Every structure is written in structure tokens, then in C-alpha cells.
Amino acid sequence: MSAMDFAGRVAVVTGAGGGLGREYSRALAARGAAVIVNDLGGSTTGEGASTGYADRVVEEIRGAGGRAAANYDSVATPEGGAAIIRSALDHFGRIDIVINNAGNQRNVRFGELTEQDIDAVYAVHVKGVFFVTQPAYRLMKQQGYGRIVLVSSQSGIFGNPIRSNYGSAKTAMIGLMNVVAQEAPPGVVINCVFPNAVGGRLGGKPGDVRPDADFLAAAAKKVPHYIAGMQPSFVAPLVTYLASEKCTTSQNMYSVLGGKYSRIFVGLTHGWYQAGETPPTAEEIEVHLGQIDDLSTFDVPKSGLDEMDTVIALQQRLKKSAG
Ligand code: NAI
């Protein structure tokens, strides 16, 4: 096992003035990367701005002997995204790594959600990821090297109450990852991480009002180190790996929760096949639902074309078993 070295590499970590982003920045800087610590420094719902959050993390990194510079632009505008990436070039001359970590939340039940609640969260988690990643991607494409990490959330892919705006915004970036991964040249990889951590402003502390607060308290009683495994320090090694030269996989999704690291994948059951030219009736769909829903055999397509291949594969299997 050789050490992961980031000497000569330049990283941008958005929303890095606290919580998980701070941990990612410190971890990358400790291994030799020069880091742009971006943070708008507003409230958790996205209002206001301040320089203190980013400055503190930069001081910490420099104090430990690392290289870092602060940036206070918002990810939520094209000008802000471009300025964040430009600051990497201005300070350190290149860009190799982008960790899209900035985040806000406006948690209300779906029935009470306002257009402002949707817009504020989509501006940061959806458009912000485009605005920061695109200028970096263009440079990565030219240099033939880049590591892009998108920070998604179980609130979208698995679902958590009171987070329809946040959960759906966090899931939009999976589509972005899938498409960029297929367009990207060799050497530029993009992956998604699904963190779970207390301590960040969005993760809250045990006992805070969060949808899973009761579950967390119960889990902490059952599994001795559950909460220990939810420290940002448990998430940073996964993000460090995904940001490193060693990571050559692209378009993958990894979860870290309570000390457990897993791959998340989107699969498609082998399903039921209606042979011939006559479409099935709704009643026939109902009759075959057991087969359609059967999770015991499945494919994991890596692209839309791959899904098309699953139909051919199914036909061939059926032909083989008939003959
Ligand atoms: P945090 O609130 O401590 O960090 C987010 C940072 O983003 C804040 O410092 C905030 O000032 C900054 N930010 C907000 N809007 C910005 C903008 N427009 N431009 C630049 N910076 C902006 O939260 P935490 O818990 O560390 O979360 C970090 C990321 O991980 C977020 O994207 C969050 O959605 C995601 N996440 C966190 C989980 C957790 O359990 N903590 C679970 C799943 C996802």
C-alpha cells in the first residue's frame, strides 16, 4: 500500500469553512495539496456572508505547515463559480481537484414548501455544482487530468422527510455525474460521495432536531461506535481517496455512515419480457409484477446504451432456456 501523495496538486473545496469541507481541506493539505478554501460564510439557510469561516480554516492549514488560500465567492452564480476556480489559478497556478461540498438547507414539509425554499436550495446544490465544476472541467480536459467529487446525500437517493427540495437537489447531481463521466476524457474522473456526519452545520449534533435524531440516538445505544463513526474525520479518507491519483474509477457513488463504507448503485431487475408485437394490458403488468419487482437478479447499466443491451441479453437468455 503506497501513500497517497498530493504534492503539486491544487484543490478547490467549496463550503470549506467548517464541518465536512474543513476536514476535506485539512486532509488534502496535510498530504501536500495546495487548497482553495471557499466559503460564503452565510447562515445555514443561505442568507448573509462573512469571511471568518474560510479564513479560520486557512489559518489552521497554514499553522500546520500546509498551503491554502481563502475564497469567499458564492457557488450559486456563474461569476462566483468562475471566480472560485480562477482563484486556484491565481494563487497556485493550476486546478486538479474540485470537491463540491457547499450546502444550505431549508427544511419544511412538502405541503408547506415555498418557491423561495426550492430556489434557494437548488441555487447552491444544483446550479452551484454546474457553475464551479464547468470552468474547472474545461481546464482538466485540456490538461488530461482531474478529480471531481460531488457531495450528494441519502436524503435524496433513499429519502428523508422534510427535505423534498434538498433531497431532490442532491439527487440531480447524480445525473450530472453520469453524463460528465461519459463525456470526460481519460484522466478526468467524477464520483459522488454520500456522507453522514454530525458536527457540520447541516448534519447537526446528536439531540438536534433532525429527521433522523431518534434513530441516531437508538443506533448509538445498539452500536457502540456509531456516533464516533459519524465524525467528519471518517468521511475525509473516502473523499481523499476519490480526489487522489489512485482513484481511476468514475461514475461511482460511495456512502459512509457510522463507520461503514459502501458502494451505492442503480440496478435494474431482469424483469419480465412481453414477447411479440402486442403490448401487454395493465392487468398483465399486475400479474407479472412479482417478476418485474424481483430483486434477486439484476443488471447495473453504466449508461443508457447499456440499459438497451439488457433487453438483448434477456431475449438471449429466454431463447437459450426455450431451446
Ligand atoms: P456545513 O453547513 O457545516 O457546511 C456547508 C458550508 O457551505 C457552510 O460553511 C456554508 O457557509 C457553505 N455555503 C453555503 N452556501 C454557499 C454558497 N452559496 N457558496 C459557498 N459556500 C456556501 O455543513 P456540513 O454538514 O459540513 O455539510 C457539507 C456538505 O455535505 C453539504 O453539501 C451537505 O449538504 C452535505 N451532506 C452533509 C451531511 C451530514 O450529515 N453532515 C449528509 C449528507 C450530505
34 lines ligand 1 (CB under 6 A): no
Residue 197 has what pLDDT?
Answer: 92
Q: Which atom of ligand 1 is nearest to the CA of 20?
A: 26
Determine the distance separating the centroid of ligand 1 and the alpha carbon of 20, expressed in angstroms: 7
Note down the domain range covering 290. 268-322
Report which of 112, 97, 103 is spatially closest to residue 42, judged by C-alpha positions: 103
Q: Is residue 139 part of a domain?
A: yes
Same domain, 207 and 277: no
Give the mutation target among 12, 13, 14, 20 for probing the ligand 1 site: most ligand atoms within 8 A of CB.
Answer: 20
Q: For the chain, give the percent of residues with pLDDT over 70.
A: 96
Same domain, 217 and 314: no
**pLDDT value at 208 more than 60:** no
Lowest mean pLDDT among 13-22, 46-55, 141-150, 154-163: 46-55
Residue 131 has what pLDDT?
Answer: 98
21 lines ligand 1 (CB under 6 A): yes
In tens, the pLDDT along 78-112 reads 999 999 999 999 999 999 999 999 999 999 999 99
Determine the distance separating the centroid of ligand 1 and the alpha carbon of 101, expressed in angstroms: 6
Same domain, 59 and 168: yes
Averaged over 199-210, what is the pLDDT?
Answer: 58
Q: Is residue 5 part of a domain?
A: no
117 lines ligand 1 (CB under 6 A): no
Of 24, 53, 145, 166, which residue is the catalytic one? 166
112 vs 1, higher pLDDT: 112
Report which of 251, 266, 269 is spatially closest to residue 311, judged by C-alpha positions: 269
Same domain, 189 and 313: no
Q: Is residue 3 part of a domain?
A: no
Residue 207 has what pLDDT?
Answer: 47
Determine the distance separating the centroid of ligand 1 and the alpha carbon of 18, expressed in angstroms: 8
Helices 52-63, 19-30: inter-axial angle, 10-degree rounding: 30
261 is catalytic: no
Lowest mean pLDDT among 36-40, 45-49, 122-126: 45-49
Which residues lie closer than 8 Å to 56 by C-beta, 6 or more apart? Answer: 17
Question: Residue 131 is placed in which grid cell?
Answer: 457553475
Grid cell 446544490 in the structure block, residue: 125
Q: Is residue 4 part of a domain?
A: no
Q: Is residue 298 part of a domain?
A: yes
38 lines ligand 1 (CB under 6 A): yes
CATH number at residue 231: 3.40.50.720
pTM: 0.95
Which residues lie closer than 8 Å to 223 by C-beta, 6 or more apart? Answer: 258
The amino acid at 184 = A
Averaged over 214-229, what is the pLDDT?
Answer: 80
Q: Is residue 236 part of a domain?
A: yes
Average pLDDT of the chain is 94
**pLDDT value at 213 more than 80:** no
239 lines ligand 1 (CB under 6 A): no
Question: Residue 152 is placed in which grid cell?
Answer: 450528494
The amino acid at 90 = D
Residue 205 has what pLDDT?
Answer: 47
Averaged over 117-131, what is the pLDDT?
Answer: 98
Q: Which atom of ligand 1 is nearest to the CA of 15?
A: 7
Q: Which atom of ligand 1 is nearest to the CA of 39?
A: 21
Residue 322 has what pLDDT?
Answer: 85
Averaged over 48-57, what is the pLDDT?
Answer: 94
229 lines ligand 1 (CB under 6 A): no
Determine the distance separating the centroid of ligand 1 and the alpha carbon of 182, expressed in angstroms: 27
**Total of domains in the chain:** 2
Nearest protein CA to atom 1 of ligand 1, as residue: 201
Among 248, 264, 280, which residue terminates a domain?
A: 264
Same domain, 106 and 153: yes
